[in-house]
Amino acid sequence: MTLDRTSWWWRRGRAVVVIFTTLFAAGLVARPLQEAAWVEVKARQPEMNVHDLGDNIGQGMLLGVFWGFRTVLADFIWLQGYHYWEQRDQPDLEAMIYLSTTLDPRMVSFWDNGSSEIALDIPAWVYRNATLPRDQQAAAYRKARTVQAERALSFLDRGLAFHPGEFILLKDQATLYDNSLHEVAKAAEKWREAAEADDSPFFAGRLYVRHLLKMGKKMEAYAYLKKIYPRLPADAPDAQKAVLWDWIVGLEHNLQVPHAETPQLTPPPGWTPDPEIDDLAKLIDVDF
């Protein structure tokens, strides 16, 4: 019996054999590289310096070898990281996060979710460590949160090198400065950058103003409000243009700005002044 080389079965079978042979060969080629990468990772785990994994094993080499498969491989490694997340295995989880972003840095979600796991989840594991005496757990949590926040900020810097001006990553950094490190000035700068991103929601600018007021920079906050107010659409509820107009008027009263120096701006349609417009702290709900 001879096979008909023009038949559908012959052509489809040959295609299947070629595909499986190619994948098998790619696996054989990838295995030494995978082992070399893991040797590098394991060697650095005591210091947990997996953040430079991409540089050490060579991002160019990885992308060159896995070019056609790097997105699939990055997704697979990211999913593997979830296993380590469930096991609360910090070194292997971070290795998977860094390796995923090295293979496919285009995925903003890897940078976004990875920074959250590094900065927030890992300190919580330390806090819940039953081997620590209860009176030491809170101090261990604070220390771990500070250390991991710094690591996450460095990780996000790498992400921003691939995604300059990306709102999500700038927002992540601002939030870390706010909630983990309590550095108001650095948080303010990040909120300013986030507010200038192309896809920035309106709340980023308001948060920048709040931070300026926390630092006592009322005149700078007033100048910024005057700059952004004309750009806000009157028909967008999330722009909260009436709220910002209250802030402008409240700051003018607080700073005693002469009427001749007030901007030639108009309140939004239907605006009525806030009852506490003369009490700036209550109006903006900021301690300063």
Whether the predicted pLDDT of 274 surpasses 90 = no
**Which pLDDT score is estimated for 126?**
77
Structure-block tokens of residue 260 = 């001749």
**Which pLDDT score is estimated for 48?**
39
Distance CA 244, CA 258 (A): 19
Q: Average pLDDT of 213-225?
A: 94
Distance CA 28, CA 103 (A): 18
The set of residues, in sequence order, having a beta carbon less than 8 Å from that of 191 and lying 6+ positions away, is: 174, 204, 207, 208, 211
**Which pLDDT score is estimated for 151?**
96
pLDDT, tens digit (0-9, with 9 covering 90-100), for 16-54: 565 656 655 655 555 565 555 545 444 544 443 444 444
**Which pLDDT score is estimated for 46?**
40
Distance CA 184, CA 43 (A): 37
pLDDT, tens digit (0-9, with 9 covering 90-100), for 164-197: 999 999 999 999 999 999 999 999 999 999 999 9
